[in-house]
Amino acid sequence: MRDDISTTFLDGGGQLGELIRNHDWESTPLGSPDTWPQSLRSALSICLQSSYPTAIYWGPELRLLYNDAWSPIPAERHPDALGRPGAEVWPDIWDVVGPQFRQVIETGEGFSTYDQMLPMVRNGVVQETYWNYSFTAIRGEDGEVAGIFNQGNETTEQVLARRQAEEDVERFGYLFEQAPGAVAILRGPKHVFEIVNPAYEVLIGRRDIVGKPVAEALPEVVSQGFVDLLDQVYRSGEPYRGHAMPVVLDREQGPEERNVDFVFQPVTDTAGKRYGVFVQATDVTDTIRAEGALRDSEERYHAIVNSIDQMIWSTRPDGYHDYYNDRWYEFTGVPHGTTDGEEWNGMFHPDDQERAWAVWRHSLETGEPYHIEYRLRHRSGQYRWVIGRAQCVRGPDGKIARWYGTCTDIHDLKVAEDARQLVLRELNHRVKNLFSIVAGMVSITARSTTTAAEMGDVLRGRLHALSTAHDLIRVGSSLRDAPSAAPLAALVSQIVKPHVADEDQVALDGPEMTVGEDASTGLALILHELATNAAKYGAFRDPEGTLAVRWHSDGETLTVAWEETCPGLEIRAPETVGFGSRLVASTVEGQLGGSIDQRWEESGVKIALRLPAGRIVAGSA
């Protein structure tokens, strides 16, 4: 069928070379290959030996020959496409390529196109395909165009990928445009602005920066270290995040410091090569300033509430305690947070807890103001009286939003009030005793004198002595006017003198010593009570009665012995303890820190006072 010498141009060519050699060309207008012109032979030889997709369209019908690299292009039309006219092989795209073939045949000039869309039928479905290809005229022996040399490759995937990328970029750009935060993409090691959104332009205060390196577009940020950070991110591939970082920008009004949250994120291409840096920034200047103002406001608030002497607290609408000022913790001495919630009730005196909780619960249920006095545990471990007050704050809907309350320490006032009551009772007692003493003095004086004038003189003297003694035991604020110190013997003598008809009834025995300022009035008060009781019930009630007062000190304890002898009286211990006795006991034990021992015998009363010398005797350590 072939001449081995004349058809060597068909040697090789892989599968297509084999198909061409075995094809029945004699049944086609091309005829036997050994009759093919040299121009066709040369072109086909090049085609078969090429590794690039290559085809030859020959003759008036543009019959098709191609190599192995081109065979995937016709897909299911291969191998039937071999030797057939181009219009029959490509009826689906001939309206596109047909005119291109005619142009080359008519002009003899080559034609090339890139990403040419050809609506090609594949697997029975018209598909949008894209191609890069060229048509080159092959001139026959007569110089006329006898065929077309075709090379090309499909670019459908690249075109669609590029289109998708463009769509992604468009969407990305749209998202950039709409993004509330400042966004930019920097390209390459020089950090050239490739994309910026309006928010970024607003942040930096300028436009027309696309295509410029950061160092050129924003020269003021170079010295602030931001370009160094970009270099670090680009080199290392590690992102960098900044929080509320200050940056000075040259804006239209001049240099202005702003605070920004930002991220520098490295960007890589599809091959994994570092492409640039993605920048996202949020201007938080107003937030930082607002937070600063809020902190200042909170600091002022805390300074105010902590400068007030009162304890201040607040609760949620349900009464859950969630705030106390420093005064609360200073007063109670408890760790912060340990009295939150309902734990505050445990700070009250056990006898006050149920009452305080009931009043608080009533306020929570009704919204009525909270007001109560209770005893609160102090850091010393003692309970002190306080006044608790609270008012609710309502929201726009009328519902309780919070409760704000205070605790005020009134313990000293409470004690002072009790003391005033004690003073009033004492004054009342003193007045009664004074009248009894005066009555006794009158009676004693009347028995011991014979004339009214003599009685008047004696009575005036005794009343003067009584006045002198009372100067030592004044109560209330007048105690400040009492002598700062007094000899113990003189103190006993002045206190006892107004109650006796005859000075021989009293015997004093003890070393010289001076009673100190703090103890003089207390001791005078005790001696006055004992002398008053002696005048009303004991030794001074009878002219035969006697009193012996003896004292001595061992350096630590001052012992004062008060012994009454009543020969004409029947002495018995009192069935009840009167105010005077309670006053004596409280003064000895509470004020002077000592003890008292009392014994009632048939012959009289024996009382022993044991007092700490350091608190009684002036000059003692």
Cβ-Cβ contacts under 8 Å for 364 (sequence gap 6 or more): 318, 319, 403
Backbone angles phi, psi at 333, to 5 degrees: 75, 10
Banded pLDDT at 483 (limits 50, 70, 90) = very low
C-beta neighbour count of 406 within 10 angstroms: 21
Mean pLDDT value across residues 481-508: 79
pLDDT in tens, 146-164: 999 999 999 999 999 888 8
pLDDT digits (tens, 9 = 90+) for 208-255: 899 999 999 999 999 999 999 999 999 999 999 999 999 999 988 889
By the 8 A CB rule, do 535 and 499 touch? yes
Average pLDDT rounded to a whole number, residues 418-442: 67
Q: What is the sign of the dihedral through the CA atoms of 216, 222, 226 and 229?
A: positive
Q: How many residues does the chain have?
A: 621
Q: How far is CA 339 from the centre of its chain?
A: 19
Asked if 294 and 339 count as a contact pair (C-beta separation under 8 A), the reply is no
What's residue 15's pLDDT? 93
Token readout for 418 is: 């009790």
**599 HSE (CA, 13 A, CB side):** 10
Is pLDDT at 461 greater than 60 in this prediction? no
User: E strands within 383-536?
Assistant: 383-394, 400-409, 486-487, 506-509, 514-515
For residues 321 and 521, the model is more confident at 321
114/154 Cα distance (integer angstroms): 10
CA 504-510-516 angle, to 5 degrees, is: 115
Of 574, 569, 554, 463, nearest in space to 510 by CA: 554
Average pLDDT over the chain reads 86
Is the pLDDT at 580 greater than 90? The verdict is no
What gap in Å lies between CA 465 and CA 68, rounded to an integer? Answer: 148
Task: Look at strands 506-509 and 546-553 and give their pairing.
Answer: parallel
The CB-side HSE value for 463 (13 A sphere, CA atoms) comes to 11
- Cβ atoms within 10 Å, residue 420: 11
Least confident segment among 39-43, 203-207, 279-283, 497-501 = 497-501
Provide the 3-class DSSP secondary structure of residue 533. Answer: helix
Report which residue type is found at 147: G
Delineate the domains of the chain, giving CATH numbers in brackets.
8-160 (3.30.450.20), 179-288 (3.30.450.20), 308-407 (3.30.450.20), 416-616 (3.30.565.10)
Q: How confident is the model at residue 472 (pLDDT cuts 50, 70, 90)?
A: low
Q: How far apart are CA 102 and CA 213, in angstroms?
A: 51
Query: Distance between CA 578 and CA 537 in Å, rounded?
Result: 13
Q: Please state the pTM of the whole predicted model.
A: 0.40
Of 514, 434, 516, nearest to 474 by C-alpha is: 434
Q: How many CA atoms lie within 13 A of 74 on its CB side?
A: 22
Tokens of 45: 């030889």
Structure tokens at 252: 């239209």
Q: Per DSSP, what are the bridge partners of residue 228?
A: none
HSE toward the beta carbon, residue 127, CA cutoff 13 A: 13
The 10s digit of each residue's pLDDT in 179-201 is: 778 999 999 999 999 989 999 99
| Interatomic CA distance for residues 42 and 147, integer angstroms | 12
Cα–Cα nearest to 232, from 265, 209, 210: 265
pLDDT surpasses 90 at 307: no
Which are the contacts of 478, defined by CB distance < 8 A and separation ≥ 6? none
